Structures are given as structure tokens and as C-alpha cells.
Amino acid sequence: LAPLLGYALPQRQEPLATREGSEDAGWLLNAPGGSHLRAWSIATDIDLDAPQRSGRGYRFSPMRIASRILLETKEPAALLTGGSELRLLLTDPSRPDSHLAIPLTGTAGWAEQTLAPDSFRLLVALASPAGLAALPDLLQAARLSQARVTKDLRVQARAAVEDFLQAILDD
């Protein structure tokens, strides 16, 4: 996948210190020009959201570990997979983390497709070096659009409630 995205072969990274201690820093895929993308590959029998250490629960799931590493390194995105699902993690220190989940197995997965699915093209567009460079602007545009839609819905909901109450009073 690394060459298809425009990166050289991944290089294993040393553990990195986060607020929870030393954690797996994954693999680094480097592109010409200095761009890079971090990735983690987890064993297929491990849930990406399930904790890997006892006692502290959710904070030690592969997903949370990857998110902490991204925040520590100030990287906007990374890949995380357990074999049946590929996630493109998106981080922003001022907002909650999010991700795109792409099935790799099953009837909706890439393994069953004869042509490249739209999710593959989306992954290439966002995780390539050019996509990572454009990601902050894309996320900001999405936030602004979300704020506009939320404001419009609030106005529409208020008008609907007012119309409903006026209809009750008129009746």
C-alpha cells in the first residue's frame, strides 16, 4: 500500500513517550520531499478499540495509543489496521479525534471487489503526500460547513416549533 500512496517502504519506529508512558510509535512511511505518514498493523485477533492492558481500559486500545502518538508528534493523520478493517485516523489537538473505517474483508471489503472501490480512491486522495498537505484546509472547510448546517437546522427547528404551536393556538 505504501508505494500506491506515494511513500517508500515503512521504517519501524522506536517507542515514544506520551502522557501514558512509553508507547508503540508504529511505522513511518516517508515520501520524497519530506512528507510522511505513520501506520500501525495490529494482529488480526485484536479489536482496534479494545484495551491491551488490564486495569486502565479504553486508554490502552490500539486506537487510543495511535491517537496519543499522533498528538505527541503533531501529525494530522495515520493508518491503523487489524487486517479486517483499515482506519485512517484524523487528529486535531483542538477537536475530538475521528477516523474513516474501511472494511477489508467480508462482502463490503476490498478483498471481494474486482475493481478499486471508492474507499480506496478516497484513501489514496487523503493519505497521499498531496492529500496530507491539503487535509488541514479540507477539515477546516468541513467544520465551517458543519457550523453553517447546524445554524440553519436550529433556525428551521425553531420555525417548525413556532408554526406547530401557532397552529394549536389557532385551532
Are β-strands 36-41 and 77-81 bridged in parallel, bridged antiparallel, or unpaired? parallel
Is pLDDT above 60 for 57?
A: no
What is the percent of the chain with per-residue pLDDT over 70, rounded to a whole number?
96
Instruction: Give pLDDT, residue 135.
Output: 85
**What's 110's DSSP letter?**
G
Q: Is 16 exposed, middle or buried (0-12, 13-18, 19+ CB in 10 A)?
A: middle
Per-residue model confidence (pLDDT) at position 72:
92
Mean pLDDT of the chain: 87
Cα–Cα–Cα angle for 126, 139, 10, nearest 5°? 35
Q: Which residue has the higher pLDDT, 102 or 57?
A: 102
pLDDT over threshold 80, residue 119:
yes
pLDDT at 59 over 80: no
145 φ, ψ to 5°? Answer: -65, -40
Q: Specify the higher pLDDT residue, 96 or 85.
A: 85
C-alpha cell belonging to residue 127: 493519505
13 falls in which pLDDT band (50, 70, 90)? very high
Contact indicator for 115, 93 with CB cutoff of 8 Å: no
d(CA 26, CA 35): 16
Give the percent of the chain with pLDDT over 90: 43
